[in-house]
Amino acid sequence: MAVLVSRKAGIYAYEASLRRAGFDLIAGADEAGRGACAGPLVAGAVILRPGRSGEIPGLADSKLLTANQRERVYDQIMERAVAWSVVAVESGECDALGMHQANLAALRRALMRLQPVAAFALTDGFSVDGLGVPNLAIWKGDRVAACVAAASVVAKVTRDRIMTGWHDELPAYAFDIHKGYCTPLHQERLDEHGPSHIHRLCFENVRRTLDPRVPDARVASL
């Protein structure tokens, strides 16, 4: 199905166009943490209300918002959404599937958990099969479609909270600062302490910090 929407039409234009075409419940899905080398990959899915009641003050791609702005927008989404869901694919499953397949699995699971079920799904970047409803992948969808932007905020806030929780258990890695992404600080801690059980061994920068004298069963399974 072709959906023609000008990128200048505003963040709610995709949903408005699809509703005019007869789709009442339109879901957006996005992930957080695909590029991180530690912690889960988290996907969110959101169905917003139609019209003004579904407009979220300050809504934008989560990467364009500060942490405080994301928290405020997250609270508004929780209050105003018709439905929302969030799922986490843990590091071991990311290693087993590979990051692309883990990403698709996370998006699919989040969309399929929505109640009520969406009539149409918009996803950020990648097409997702097996949904049972029409769907469309949008390049940089979290910047042009409101429901995808909302899903990006839900995924990001949830994942940041998870990683802050992991910092309490594994303070040596400073997960509260970098949230598991591949920053110089994170690499410094990895080089010093080696990988934890929440690190992703499918990332080369993690594997090279393993002690070669200590076999790791996780590596053998990759």
pLDDT digits (tens, 9 = 90+) for 64-76: 999 999 999 999 9
Cis peptide before 116 (omega within 30 of 0): yes
pLDDT digits (tens, 9 = 90+) for 132-178: 999 999 998 999 999 999 999 999 999 999 999 999 999 999 999 99
How far is residue 201's CA from residue 158's CA, in Å, rounded to a whole number? 23
Write down the pTM of the prediction.
0.92
